[in-house]
Amino acid sequence: MQIGPHQLKNKLIVAPMAGVTDRPFRELCKRLGAGMAVSEMLSSRPELWQSAKSRRRADHAGEVEPISVQIAGADPAMMAEAARYNVAHGAQLIDINMGCPAKKVCNVMAGSALLRDEPLVGRILDAVVKAVDVPVTLKIRTGWDRDHRNAVRVASIAESAGIRALAIHGRTRACGFTGGAEYETIAQVKSCTRLPVIANGDIASPEQAAHVLRHTRADSIMIGRAAQGRPWIFREIAHYLDTGRRLPPPSFGEIHALLREHLQALHGFYGEMMGVPIARKHVGWYTRTLPGAAAWRARLNRIETSQSQLAEVDRYFEELAALDTGVGAQEEELAA
């Protein structure tokens, strides 16, 4: 998979997810097999760029290249300026968000709400592509609702504007994240455009990844929610695509080591006050199907310091190690 001058090592991309794909998460996913990871979206409103949240989201220090930054907004001139700002702060690709279904984004006519206004889509894409000398990519949904799937037309607009790759989530804006992803529209777009197409939606196992690639003929796949608490999914999928065989699931010991590494990175990135509560949701994802985890997390969530949080994680996994069992059931449940 190549996007402009950037040759990715494989077909696997981490989806941008607000509150999830911060730098520690992106770095871990890349180390475990992802070819690229897109940042959390940054607003195109310049008055927000110096907020603590935006500064953290624009922090790419030491990050494995290529560095892809997603921007969101509805004003072409502001989006162009946001693209220039982020390139000046290290972005090597700019991704435009026209796929987010969140109400707070769509209520200001950004994200997937833009799909209702195709002329505005064109103006935004033209403005951003002309503003920067790095590749610009676009993420969309299949349309606004089931009666208005316009991804093919948007793909044509994107190609004319000079967009370098198109990611498509296999649901409409109205679907949110409910129901199963449909891949027919993605396949249709792929057959109608010369753009590299990235398929997204409900890819939670190596077998599903292979199926989506075959069915849509997409150039790569993008994985979001299935990687939460399971960053090793990227190496599993890469191995399966290369060999046709599944890797064995990670042991409790490896999960413990990865979770500990992730928590320490979060504590360092956010600091003690923010890092500890932010880490709790990741602990929940890593342990959601492990024995006794629900009751244990209730205790963990009362802990307020990073060292005590790590010590409690260590204690829990020491107890799991004594069970001498694997996590195959966990993997099967997540893939279902």
Are 202 and 316 found together in one domain?
A: no
> How do residues 11-22 score in pLDDT, each as one tens digit?
999 999 999 999
Token readout for 110 is 């950004």
Instruction: Tell which of 204, 224, 243 closes a domain.
Output: 243
pLDDT of residue 333: 45
> How do residues 98-125 score in pLDDT, each as one tens digit?
977 655 554 445 677 898 899 999 999 9
Q: Other C-beta atoms within 10 Å of 104: how many? A: 10
What is the distance between the alpha carbons of residues 20 and 17, in angstroms, rounded to a whole number?
5
pTM of the model: 0.90
Asked if 166 and 186 count as a contact pair (C-beta separation under 8 A), the reply is no
Task: Find residue 94's DSSP bridge partners.
Answer: 69, 136
Per-residue pLDDT for 334 more than 50? no
What is the distance between the alpha carbons of residues 178 and 183, in angstroms, rounded to a whole number?
15
Per-residue pLDDT for 207 more than 50? yes
pLDDT of residue 324: 57
Are 198 and 217 found together in one domain?
A: yes
pLDDT of residue 55: 87
Asked if 231 and 258 count as a contact pair (C-beta separation under 8 A), the reply is yes
pLDDT of residue 332: 44
Active site residue 100: yes
What is the distance between the alpha carbons of residues 252 and 290, in angstroms, rounded to a whole number?
9
* Given the residues 100, 106, 175, 192, the one annotated as active site: 100
* φ, ψ of residue 190 in degrees (nearest 5): -60, -35
pLDDT band at 336 (very low <50, low <70, confident <90, very high): very low
**For the chain, what percentages of helix, strand and coil (3-state, to nearest 5) are there?**
50, 10, 35
Cis amide linkage into residue 66, ω under 30° from 0: yes
Instruction: Tell which of 201, 219, 243 closes a domain.
Output: 243
329 in any annotated domain? no
What is the distance between the alpha carbons of residues 19 and 323, in angstroms, rounded to a whole number?
33
Are 162 and 269 found together in one domain?
A: no
Are 145 and 198 found together in one domain?
A: yes
Q: Tell me how many domains the chain contains.
A: 2
CATH number of the domain residue 304 falls in: 1.10.1200
Helix (H) or strand (E) holding 269: helix 252-270
CATH number of the domain residue 134 falls in: 3.20.20.70
> Which range among 54-63, 83-92, 186-195 shows the weakest confidence by mean pLDDT?
54-63
Please give the span between the terminal C-alpha atoms of the chain, in angstroms, as a whole number.
Answer: 28
